[in-house]
Amino acid sequence: MASLNLASALVPVTGAASGIGLAICRQLRLEGGTPLLLDFDRQRLDAALGEVFGTSVAEAQRFGYLVDVRDSKAVDACLAQIRQDHGLITHAVANAGRSLAAHILDMTDEQWHGVMDVNLHGMLYFCRAAARQLAEAKRGSLVTMASIAGLMAKESRVGYAASKAAVVNMTRALALDLGPFGVRVNAVAPGVIDTPLQTNPSYQEPVKQRAALRRVGNADEIASVVLFLLSDMSSYMTGETLVVDGGLTARYL
Which segments within the chain are labelled E, that is strand? 10-14, 34-39, 64-66, 91-94, 141-145, 184-190, 241-244
CA 81 to chain CA centroid, Å, is 21
The model's pTM: 0.95
Is residue 33 within 8 Å of 11, Cβ to Cβ?
yes
Angle at 60 between CA 97 and CA 194, to 5 degrees: 35
Which sequence positions are flagged as catalytic?
Answer: 160
**Residues 86, 87, 90, 91, CA torsion sign:** positive
Is residue 101 within 8 Å of 144, Cβ to Cβ?
no
**Structural domains present in the chain:** 10-243 (3.40.50.720)
Each residue's pLDDT expressed in tens, for the chain with a length of 253 residues: 556 889 999 999 999 999 999 999 999 999 999 999 999 999 999 999 999 998 877 889 999 999 999 999 999 999 999 999 999 999 999 999 999 999 999 999 999 999 999 999 999 999 999 999 999 999 999 999 999 999 998 899 999 999 999 999 999 999 999 999 999 999 999 999 998 765 567 778 888 899 999 999 999 999 999 999 999 999 999 999 999 999 999 988 7
